[in-house]
Structure 1
């Protein structure tokens, strides 16, 4: 059994201990993260808030297994990410993390259904099962009637819903959203945040990276990043 196949049910979906990230050396070294301790229980809805340059983007890259820390440990679903090779980390990202980006990152010339199917294509899931799961994910986000639409035929809010469906289609342990409302108008922002509320109520584990206090206020727990350090805000 591979390390990935051995992922089991643990209390904390992610658990970070003493995480630090330093870019450069000597006098030009930049300490983007400083000895960070951070954990998220299964089913929690957490907002990580900070201004530009605070270190929240670096933290996002660590949590998404997109970059390696200089020191410290990161356990995702009980697995120490540092013990995995690049292929295993890629498999872990595809199976256990659902990414949602500010810019949607949809493929322009393909349908909503094909965009949602993409992670399952990478996972080697057969065509019939892929289609069934992608259609179910689109239905979950309220877009069952838009499966054959391309991104340019959808509003910004609908495009972000497609991105959420794509993140959900592998039934990941963690939804990791990077400024998910940054490109949306007020009405679409309210709509998408309402979707996150419902996903949380359904038991999904969600971490939102944001600079917006109003977006962060929707979460049940807020963590503030300042100069590479984390502090816990008061719980709701």
Structure 2
């Protein structure tokens, strides 16, 4: 895996000239058109855009779930171009904490066991897994729910468990895809309060959202139209 040693001030995300084309010829779809973007350590960024704007494509590339047609991407000092799928999976586990709209919790596992999962995949020993998972649940205010399964938790609590799971590996980047999309207004506030606290503590957060009220909580708003960044407010 080609890497450089990141300094404490190195950007978490540095992309240059990202292009993503689906298909060929007259039917080709240009989802990204030379996107250039830097996200510094500790930044809190909302990426917005209508359906078809390219925001989901950009998220998938930033999350190392897809690769660009052209352009470069350095994640916390690691050049992801040319990495194998196995190397990308290791990078995702170590460097990125994912938060999805649908929570993606395992139904018959406790909150604690769900938070331990990425640590187990990363080869962390059981005692250390438990310690780090409990610490992550404490950060999101759910220590007392550690032994509860998802069906015993509210939607907001399930999403906070998902946030704890994302935090457990101490990733360089928290990447959230519509994290409040399935929540009522009260639960939305609870989850956004947690993200605000994490941002205040210096975590780097990038979230995809179509909701202005969610974007207003961030430090920086990037808006995409037809694969181009047309606004970068708060940079």
TM-score (norm 1): 0.96
Residue in structure 2 matched with residue 81 of structure 1 by the alignment: 80
- Pairing partner for 1:8 from 6, 9, 32: 6
Structure 1 ranges of 4+ moved more than 4 A: none
Shift of 1:235: 1.9
Shift of 1:149: 0.4
Residue in structure 2 matched with residue 101 of structure 1 by the alignment: 100
For residues 234 and 92 of structure 1, what CA distance do their matches in structure 2 show? 29
Q: Give RMSD over aligned pairs.
A: 1.2
Shift of 1:234: 2.9
Stretches of structure 2 lacking an aligned partner (at least 5 in a row): none
Stretches of structure 1 lacking an aligned partner (at least 5 in a row): none
For residues 140 and 234 of structure 1, what CA distance do their matches in structure 2 show? 29
For residues 89 and 49 of structure 1, what CA distance do their matches in structure 2 show? 26
Residue in structure 2 matched with residue 162 of structure 1 by the alignment: 161
For residues 59 and 234 of structure 2, what CA distance do their matches in structure 1 show? 21
Alignment deviations for residues 161-217 of structure 1 (CA, whole Å, 9 cap, x no partner): 000000000000000000000000000001111111100000000001011111111
Shift of 1:3: 4.1
For residues 125 and 22 of structure 2, what CA distance do their matches in structure 1 show? 42
Of the structure 1 ranges 19-28 and 80-89, higher mean CA displacement relative to structure 2 is found in 80-89
How many equivalent residue pairs? 234
Shift of 1:233: 3.6
Matches within 5 A, 1:1-236: 3=2, 7-9=5-7, 10-235=9-234
TM-score (norm 2): 0.97
Shift of 1:151: 0.4
For residues 56 and 225 of structure 1, what CA distance do their matches in structure 2 show? 7
Three-state SS of the structure 2 residue aligned to 1:90 is helix
